[in-house]
A and B are shown apart, each in its own frame.
Chain A
Amino acid sequence: MTQKELFHIAQDWFQQQGWKPFPFQKETWKAFLTGKHGLLNAPTGSGKTYALWFPIVLNYIKQNPDYKNKHKKGLKAIWITPLRALSQEIKQSAERITEDLGSQMTVGIRTGDTSTKERAKQRTAMPDLLITTPESLQLLLSSKDYKKIFKNCSAIVVDEWHELLGTKRGIQMELGLSRLKTISSDLRIWGISATIGNLEQARQVLLGPTSPELENSVMVRANLQKKITVKSIIPKTMETFPWRGHLGLHLLDEVVPIINNSKTTLLFTNTRSQCEIWFQKILEKYPEFAGEMAMHHGSVNKETRLWVEQAIRNESLKAVICTSSLDLGVDFAPVETVIQIGGPKGVARFLQRAGRSGHRPGKESVIHFLPTHAMELIEASALQVAVKENAVEDRLPYLNSYDVLLQYLTTLAVSDGFYPDEIHPEIQQTFCYQGITEEQWQWLLNFLVMGSQSLSSYDEYKKVEVEADGKFKVNNRGLAMRHRFQIGTIVGDATISVRYQKGGYIGSIEEYFISKLTQGDVFTFAGRNLEFIRMKGMQAHVRNSNKKTNKVPSWMGGRLSFSAQMSELLRQELYKAPPPNPLPKGKGKLISEELKALQPIFDKQRQESIVPKPDEFLIETFKTRDGYHHIFYPFEGRAVHEAMSSLLSYRISLLSPITASLAFNDYGFEMLSDKPIDIQAVLDNDLFTTDYMLADLQKSLNSNEMARRKFRDIAVISGMVFTGYPEKGVKMKHLQSSSQLLFDVFRDYEPDNLLFQQAFTETFEHQLEEGRLRLALERIAQQNIIWKNCEKPTPFSFPIITDRLREKLSSEKLADRIKRMTKILMK
């Protein structure tokens, strides 16, 4: 069949639906059918699934002209989705095509939710089109004779590639693809990504920077212009608006008219506990919403989530309070309005959420921004500019993550075994491991086999064995089983499932929260008040309760940092802060509504301190009953502040021993100490210099917890710590302590271990963003440092000093510290 005839089939189908294919869809079909690989840049809900399912099916038709009568069995294409919740939707769109075209092709899903029975069935007869996750793909690679499964696979599509890029799941994908390139004889690799700053690099990472696949690839851009309107919800009186906080409940009443004026509204919160609280509070104050409002987050059980999603489509809900769980996928046409509660931290995320409304092509998207404290109004103002300029962030891919590679090699050793000479060149073609040296490769192989770099007689280390012909293989069934359980790169806290006594599943909560409950305690979860009865294994039994409570589970999760772009915009907005009242004539127009509303806060700030101008760098110090506060305001985003605070406190400790706790947000950072720090000495000794920055930063890490936490994940991913069988498990506390101890043991005995080193590299590159730190220090060198010794906390300092999540640092002798500590012992 010629390409023209194939195109006709597709176009006819679109016509039958009353649609017209977009140019980007046709472009993708053409590229795919001429054997190209590529990256499709298209937003959610733009018809991207049809851009790729179609050519996959058409390609099968092309190769099997008798397709209507004879079905050729076996896997033909894989669709990777980062969220298994999306798989149903993707399956439906695939089935529409396969059925309407009479292709006889089957579509199947294989994720963590797939039953064992279904999986076994798939093992004997794979569906033609398989929808799966990066983890489940790795699991397939860990099964016997996996090569046969993929032999005739003609395509792999990685959906929402921007979500995977810059994470270890992304590396897992890179590795999986490197294997498939060899074992599938006629494979096309496609990625689908929303707009990010580094799209070209995204394509390189997907296909391999030096690969023939990259050479034979295209970038297709949907270029669907969409109008986005951002409206800030500005408090009527600034005097009573809080200086700190993260819930935003003060503006609850302002939200109600917005919900009433729109068909369906999504309210995005940043955390699951915030989501729970908002849901509860709206219902308390506006009971008339009962039945018309729902909640959606990752810990609510799957049935409820699916029900909510369906209800949005049916237009039977007025409002849904949700978290990032509704960021991706799922086309919700009826959503008219989106409200973002609290700073979204990233422009790309904000745009994505805005795009959830007015989903039909050509429609306008409306997003309301609700600030949770005064300082966030500056953020609101900056977001307006960001959206106008489409200032989206980069997603930084990882390099040389040995932990993921060790896991992958073990996976191959568990299935059919591997020969290093065959796998090495494949690895070198990936982006992540393009720079891996011969020595590092040998180190990893030694580590797999001996658990060290040399043999010794009393050692009983057992994992991968080398067979006579040089094949690396895991022969111990127990080891193999444990490895399969642990495939994955997301290391979360242990979760406990919450159930009614009769067995009804409500959702899952972190063990940390449950461990603080005693029998009879009432807490709010999934929109209900539940009484805790008992723990049973990894389950918490509960019953409904009428008692009121303010206990809401917290989920730790990472805190996001402002991107470089967003920080820059934020500073620019701050510099526009209006001078003290009254406003000079004619100047008012240049200043946004948000900044005008902040006038009372700026005035208050000026009473104690200053609002910094572009050439000023502000330091504030004051004392409260908590201790001596030292606050620095670089306005560079959380990550840079974390690094800078670590660096600075290390340098200060060289002047004289200190003990401090560090807190940071997107505006600045604090060093809280039980003794005042001599700021004049900090300035006189030029402690903000970029000289020896890297060396100092490295040394500073030894005295705090950052690298330790990174190491915890690395230890789990590389298989050094076993997290236990699901639902049965080693308690997380145990894991915590064994990886904590492991860190010390490695530091003392094997500091040159690549995995131990990796913890530091990751902290530098991914957490602290060393490159940005240097730029920030260079900028500070150009500024005048203004040190204000204040009587009491300023509005700018408030959100920082009240933050409880802190880094600790000490260069003092333990004995000296203990002497100063109160005899009050705490639990």
Chain B
Amino acid sequence: MSHKIQVHKQSFSLDPTGAIFWEEKSCLLLSDVHLGKVSHFRKYGAAVPKHAIHKNYLLMDKLVETYQPFEICFLGDLFHSSLNREWVLFENWVARTPAKITLITGNHDIIGPEKFESLEIEQLEECVTEEFLLTHHPEEREGFFNLCGHIHPAVRLQGFGRQRLKLPCFFKTENQMILPAFGEFTGNHVLKPKELDEIFVIAEQQVIQI
């Protein structure tokens, strides 16, 4: 179940997978997918279950089916490390996905640009659309609302009876929205919200504002 918000009169659906669907632009935003991480581990002798490789592609397929986007924009860290054989799976996914794909490059994206070009994926340092600025690293720029990733944000909650929870979240400040990491098998980083920040946690299959 997704959660809808409005920013600058534009509608965004926050999906429990960590993706955001920008309705007016029919654009699906995903950040920090870290594809190839499982293969990377295995290449270095750590026997992570190899079936886990497919999970991200299945999730992405489902998103495409639900939102039918014209465009898909990855906000960086699409691949975890250098090229490995998982690239073949990615190629397959791109081939069967009927949308324009853009990659805002992140610090982990070290795969050669020509590989992406061959799949007709546009690569950008950043992307400016009206008053929206799409980047990998969080940025503050006068007059823009920044959509970004990189942090893998999470928050801690506490309650009566010494209860504590740590949950991944969409972290919104006045002029910025940090997306949670989309990928299976990614860690997260706890942020401490200020008074006016809006937090949307991912709890099982729901997005809940707190």
Binding site for B on A (CB under 8 A): 447, 451-452, 456, 458-463, 479, 482, 626-628, 659-661, 672-675, 719-722, 734, 737-738, 740-742, 745-746, 748-750, 753, 806, 808, 813-815, 817-827
Does the CB pair A820–B160 fall under 8 Å?
yes
Which of B50, B85, B201, B208 has the most A CB atoms < 10 Å from its CB? Answer: B50
B111 on the A face (CB < 8 A) = no
Contacts A460-B39, A813-B204, A818-B210 given; does A672 touch B162 at CB 8 Å: yes
A741 to B193, CA, bound (A): 25
B149 to chain A, nearest CB (A): 17
Q: Residue on B with the closest CB to A756?
A: B49
Q: Which of A627, A734, A749 contacts B160, CB < 8 Å?
A: A627
Q: Which of B46, B190, B208, B210 contacts A721, CB < 8 Å?
A: B46
Does the CB pair A821–B159 fall under 8 Å?
yes
Q: Which of A459, A661, A737 contacts B161, CB < 8 Å?
A: A661
Q: Which 7 A-B pairs have the closest CB atoms?
A: A627-B161, A451-B47, A674-B161, A737-B187, A821-B159, A814-B203, A749-B49
B67 on the A face (CB < 8 A) = no
- Which B177-210 residues have C-beta < 8 A from chain A? 184-188, 190, 192-193, 199, 201, 203-204, 206, 208, 210
A458 to B156, CA, bound (A): 39
B9 on the A face (CB < 8 A) = no
Which of A674, A719, A753, A814 has the most B CB atoms < 10 Å from its CB? Answer: A814
B139 on the A face (CB < 8 A) = no
Contacts A737-B187, A741-B187 given; does A459 touch B50 at CB 8 Å: yes
Q: Residue on A with the closest CB to B162?
A: A661
Does the CB pair A720–B52 fall under 8 Å?
no
Does the CB pair B52–A748 fall under 8 Å?
yes
Does the CB pair B49–A461 fall under 8 Å?
no
- Which B8-64 residues have C-beta < 8 A from chain A? 39, 42-52
A738 to B84, CA, bound (A): 20
Main SS class of interface, B: mixed
- Which B131-165 residues have C-beta < 8 A from chain A? 155-165
Does the CB pair B187–A719 fall under 8 Å?
no
- The contact sample of 7 A-B pairs, CB cut-off 8 A, is A460-B42, A462-B45, A479-B45, A720-B47, A808-B164, A822-B157, A827-B190
Chain B residue numbers with a CB within 8 Å of A748 are: 52
A825 to B52, CA, bound (A): 33
Does the CB pair A461–B157 fall under 8 Å?
no
B109 on the A face (CB < 8 A) = no
A808 to B157, CA, bound (A): 14
Does the CB pair A818–B161 fall under 8 Å?
no
Which of B45, B49, B204 has the most A CB atoms < 10 Å from its CB? Answer: B45
Chain A residue numbers with a CB within 8 Å of B208 are: 815, 818-819
Q: Residue on B with the closest CB to A741?
A: B185
Does the CB pair B47–A452 fall under 8 Å?
yes
B128 on the A face (CB < 8 A) = no
B5 on the A face (CB < 8 A) = no
Chain A residue numbers with a CB within 8 Å of B155 are: 825
Given A458-B89, A748-B52, A814-B167; 18 other pairs, CB 8 A cutoff? A451-B47, A461-B43, A463-B45, A628-B161, A661-B161, A674-B160, A675-B161, A808-B164, A815-B203, A817-B163, A817-B165, A821-B210, A822-B157, A822-B158, A822-B160, A825-B155, A826-B157, A826-B192
B71 on the A face (CB < 8 A) = no
Does the CB pair A826–B156 fall under 8 Å?
yes
Does the CB pair A460–B165 fall under 8 Å?
no
Does the CB pair B159–A447 fall under 8 Å?
no
Binding site for A on B (CB under 8 A): 39, 42-52, 84-86, 88-89, 155-165, 167, 184-188, 190, 192-193, 199, 201, 203-204, 206, 208, 210
A631 to chain B, nearest CB (A): 14
A452 to B50, CA, bound (A): 8
A705 to chain B, nearest CB (A): 12
Chain A residue numbers with a CB within 8 Å of B204 are: 813-815
Does the CB pair A451–B50 fall under 8 Å?
yes
Q: Which of B43, B86, B185, B203 contacts A745, CB < 8 Å?
A: B185
Contacts A461-B42, A818-B201 given; does A827 touch B50 at CB 8 Å: no
Does the CB pair B158–A826 fall under 8 Å?
yes
A674 to chain B, nearest CB (A): 4
B21 to chain A, nearest CB (A): 21
A741 to B55, CA, bound (A): 14
Chain B residue numbers with a CB within 8 Å of A824 are: 158
Q: Which of A672, A734, A821, A825 contacts B193, CB < 8 Å?
A: A825
Contacts A459-B85, A661-B161 given; does A719 touch B156 at CB 8 Å: no
Q: Which of A721, A734, A825 contacts B199, CB < 8 Å?
A: A825
Chain A residue numbers with a CB within 8 Å of B163 are: 659, 661, 674, 808, 817, 821
A628 to B162, CA, bound (A): 10
A456 to B51, CA, bound (A): 10
B45 to chain A, nearest CB (A): 4
A630 to chain B, nearest CB (A): 11
Q: Residue on A with the closest CB to B51?
A: A749
Contacts A482-B45, A745-B48, A820-B160 given; does A458 touch B201 at CB 8 Å: no
Chain A residue numbers with a CB within 8 Å of B165 are: 814, 817-818, 821
A627 to B159, CA, bound (A): 9
A657 to chain B, nearest CB (A): 14
Q: Which of B161, B187, B192, B203 contacts A626, CB < 8 Å?
A: B161
Q: Residue on B with the closest CB to A478?
A: B44
Does the CB pair B162–A825 fall under 8 Å?
no
Chain A residue numbers with a CB within 8 Å of B39 are: 458-460
B208 to chain A, nearest CB (A): 6
Contacts A459-B85, A720-B48 given; does A745 touch B159 at CB 8 Å: no
